[in-house]
Structure 1
Amino acid sequence: MEAHVPYQSSGGRRNNVQMGVGHSIWAGTPPPAISERVLDGIPGCLAWVALLFSIACAVAFPRAMLLIAVIVAFYSAVRFLLAGIANIMGLRKIRQWEKIDWCTLYEQSAPPDALPWDAVRHVVIIPNYKEPLKILDRTLELLSRQYRARERITIVLAMEAAEDGCVDKAKLLRDRYGKCFEHFYFTVHPRGLPGEMQCKSANQAWAARWIKRKLVDELGYPMDTILVTTMDADTIWHPRHFYALTYLFAVHPERHLRFWQGPIRYHANIWDINPLMRIVNAYATALELAYLAAPWWTPMPMSSYSLSLRLLDSSGYWDRALFA
């Protein structure tokens, strides 16, 4: 499933200085007219204002508020109905795609402007900070079982310099799994870089720039054949995910203007969390699949997704002053 690119990054960066994990202060001249803390509080204030305003209007204008409530309820019911239909569509598509032999489909239906099947390369960036070794072990073990991982997949462990022993951890994992992939690299995102926060977005941007220099500038890989996947450290991919992704990237005429996003399912630790959270996770899983499957909604990539290195490079990589 894919999402249209909504816009390109302007390349602008805020001038801040990293002061620890997830924290920053403003630097440079002139300072912002409104502090970041005030701006962060606006959504919460608006929520409280809306709640109090609704209560007051319910007392002063009960009939008007009842009419508004009916309209909102009807709108919500329609959205839930559409989401339910789209969720069924998404589940059917998953079942259909699980049965497809993507290489055979490519041989039968690839358009003239498709990339050669064997030319597609995958770069998987895994940003992580103080992740337990067993989590990274599981992630890499499952990635090693993906389609032709030894020939097609390059792993980039994106470590944070703020984590003590991060280099030793990365070297240990490289020793264990280096032979399972075409290439296995790790990067270390430094602390205190101007205009950056210590966060997933800045870390993966650092890793992506490094791997572009390594694969394209040094080793001579064509940039247009490289598909970059970013993920959470504990993401578990469908066993045929990169097999399907190879086909989708190779045949799409606008492959450098697309994101590819698999449906996210929050079921990995479903029995280890609070029962109420299980309901929330099940709801989120169904709704996100619906947004991806519905032709009447525009999906947005989140958490774990893929895009071409060409698109990533031309748009200036990820914003280094945002958390994710």
Structure 2
Amino acid sequence: MIPASSSSSVTEVPDTGVNAAKLEAANRYVRWNLLFLLITFNFLLFPIWMPLVPYVNQATNIVIIITISLFQLIWLIATICAIRRTLALNKRNKLKTQKSQDVESSATTTHSSIRHIVAMTLYKEPMTVLQTTLDSLTQQKDASTRTSVIIGMESATPEKESKRSLILDKYSSKFLRIIITFHPSNTPGEIPGKCSNMNYACRQGLESLRQDPDYHYEKYEHIFTNCDCDAVFDPEYTSELETEYVKLDESDRHSSIWQSIIIYKRNSMPFFVDITGVLRTFFFMGILIPWNINPMSHYSLSVKLLEDGAFTHPAYQMEDIIALIRYTILSGREIRIRPLNLISINGPTSGSNYLDEIKEWALQIRRWTIGAGEVFHYFIVKTYRMPSLYLSISWATRFFIYYGLVLCASAIFSIISPIFVQIIDLTVAGEHENILVGDDIFQKICFIFLGTQYLFLLVVTVLVRWCLPVPGGSDNNYNRGFKGVVRGLVHWVLMLPTILAYSFVELYSFFELAFRGKDVCKHKAASKNNLVLVKDSGSS
């Protein structure tokens, strides 16, 4: 291990320490996430007030039908995108299997001028979780000669010195370099969490590599991978990443982020944790990547783009949600999310008992939601620095559709508003004419929408549970066989109630952010004490 140094080139960069405090102070009391909440909440309210307004109430039914139709259209587009990505994943997997049977063609091309840097952070997570991630990285091609690992710990990490020694003893010989940093606590302008820890670890780690005379940093082109400590990489992750990287010219290489498709697995999961994981995988394939909104969990980019984008912002809590827009603003060019046609495994939330499972599940949703609200604020404050007005409007629209409508408002609106309208019409609003769509037809159309929504969810279930080429066949015991099929179908029925509960947690979180402001923006790490990842990461 090369000790991390603290040169001036690291500490004088914006967005660290007191400089981050200065950046944040200017916008501490004007929180643009309020606009996000205002639009979303007013959208949810109009089925309540609209039936009470004379003349306007005549259009209530048709407006609700049009709105739910638009939600269904979004689901249709997302489903088509997810099917296309699933076909691409299976095509690559089939070609890989064919090549592995041909000794000559199975030899992958090595790009000797490229080296990899993988960074992750560690706080209170069990060492077994981290070791699963490091073990999957040791399976990458030429990991001992071409891959360096940066592990950022907090200064308050329990037993940090013993953890450091264990990591170095077990893995020093398996990677080109292992760099372990300790992020200082209570740095002005920073909030505790992965963003500030990763920001510090990357700056110190890259400086260490540059100062290492035996590493010869300037001779190589570097690809950086940001990941959680509970990630299990496909054994061909770095090889596939290199293949896609070298296909692009220099300009595109440094304006791209590569995202693998992530599934969320552990040995046993409550239905709501399992369903949330399935939906997140679907949204990776159907919305986040094709709509170019943001990377998630672990992703890769050139070190040049990482540095042009000033690493991660230590005053925000979700470095993945903020990544694309931050790198676009600070690099001055549009950034493209590009898919990697392989699957990685992440650990979902976990708890010590069922009540704890619910608590951790809700806390994770809360973190994502507050993080999304903070990113929207960051975007509005910095939008004048976007490369173009069109890009600003386009990204803000896509971001709001996903985080404001798809994840928060659509389920509540589609399920609750038809019921509310009928109750209000019967109790308060009284009789009135309806334009085009009477109450009987309105009820029938709403039931049709319920059926089509479940049809979309069935496609989601089939795609994610039974059509994705999971590495090593590690999904066989959970989703295959009679028990797996029955469980999958039962969870399919429970999907809509789970989405509805998810949406209410999101709505509550937006209100919490509105009332408590920056004080609620703390990244309390998710509990992983009871997390048992699927360990088999061999190639399928």
Task: Tell whether the structures are fold-level matches, with TM greater than 0.5.
Answer: yes
Decide which moves more: 117-126 or 60-69.
Answer: 60-69
1:284 — aligned with what? 280
- Quick one: which amino acid aligns to residue 48 of structure 2? I
Question: What is the distance in 2 between the residues matched to 1:30 and 1:130?
Answer: 28
* Shift of residue 184, structure 1, vs aligned partner: 1.4
SS in 1 for 2:257: strand
List gaps (5 residues or longer) in structure 1: 1-10, 18-25, 109-115
2:164 to 170, 173, 180: 170
Distance 1:29 1:275, change over 3 A: closer
List gaps (5 residues or longer) in structure 2: 1-12, 320-540
- Quick one: which amino acid aligns to residue 164 of structure 1? P
Q: Deviations over 1:110-151 (max 9, x none)?
A: xxxxxx811111111011211111101111111111222112
1:260 to 246, 258, 267: 258
Cα pair 1:89 1:293 within 8 Å, conserved: no
Question: What is the distance in 1 between the residues matched to 2:108 and 2:41?
Answer: 58
1:6 — aligned with what? none
Q: Deviations over 1:241-273 (max 9, x none)?
A: 11101212233212111111111212x12732x
Q: Does 1:269 align with 2:263?
A: no
Over alpha carbons, which structure has the higher Rg? 2
Q: Deviations over 1:132-182 (max 9, x none)?
A: 111011111111112221122111111111213223212211211111111
Q: Which has the higher helix share?
A: 2
2:246 to 227, 247, 250: 250
* Shift of residue 69, structure 1, vs aligned partner: 1.3
Cα pair 2:209 2:217 within 8 Å, conserved: yes
Q: Does 1:160 align with 2:157?
A: no
Higher relative contact order (CA 8 A, sep 6+): 1
SS in 2 for 1:264: strand
Distance 1:313 1:104, change over 3 A: farther
Q: Does 1:133 align with 2:127?
A: yes
Q: Deviations over 1:15-52 (max 9, x none)?
A: 879xxxxxxxx97799657637x666665565444433
Cα pair 1:216 1:223 within 8 Å, conserved: no
Question: What is the distance in 1 between the residues matched to 2:210 and 2:21?
Answer: 35
- Quick one: which amino acid aligns to residue 252 of structure 1? L
- Quick one: which amino acid aligns to residue 151 of structure 1? T
Cα pair 1:142 1:236 within 8 Å, conserved: yes
Cα pair 1:87 1:293 within 8 Å, conserved: no
Question: What is the distance in 1 between the residues matched to 2:28 and 2:289?
Answer: 40
- Quick one: which amino acid aligns to residue 52 of structure 1? L
Decide which moves more: 168-177 or 220-229.
Answer: 220-229
Residues 1-324 of structure 1: pairs in structure 2 closer than 5 A: 13=15, 35=29, 43-44=36-37, 47-60=40-53, 61-98=56-93, 99-100=95-96, 117-218=111-212, 219-222=215-218, 225-253=221-249, 254-266=252-264, 268-269=265-266, 271-272=268-269, 274-291=270-287, 294=290, 297-323=291-317, 324=319
Cα pair 2:226 2:299 within 8 Å, conserved: yes
Cα pair 2:108 2:239 within 8 Å, conserved: no
- Quick one: which amino acid aligns to residue 146 of structure 2? R
Q: Deviations over 1:72-122 (max 9, x none)?
A: 1221222211211111111111122233469969999xxxxxxx8111111
Distance 1:117 1:169, change over 3 A: same
Question: What is the distance in 2 between the residues matched to 1:176 and 1:312?
Answer: 29
Distance 1:213 1:139, change over 3 A: same
2:445 — aligned with what? none
Question: What is the distance in 2 between the residues matched to 1:288 and 1:270?
Answer: 22
Question: What is the distance in 1 between the residues matched to 2:221 and 2:152?
Answer: 22
Distance 1:187 1:59, change over 3 A: same
Q: Deviations over 1:215-264 (max 9, x none)?
A: 23433312761111010110111221111012122332121111111112
Question: What is the distance in 1 between the residues matched to 2:27 and 2:83?
Answer: 48
- Quick one: which amino acid aligns to residue 123 of structure 1? I
Question: What is the distance in 2 between the residues matched to 1:71 and 1:270?
Answer: 42
- Quick one: which amino acid aligns to residue 55 of structure 1? I
- Quick one: which amino acid aligns to residue 58 of structure 1? P
Paired-residue identity, %:
24
Distance 1:223 1:44, change over 3 A: farther
Q: Deviations over 1:50-77 (max 9, x none)?
A: 4334311133233322222122122122
Cα pair 2:136 2:234 within 8 Å, conserved: no
Cα pair 1:120 1:250 within 8 Å, conserved: no
Question: What is the distance in 1 between the residues matched to 2:16 and 2:64?
Answer: 41
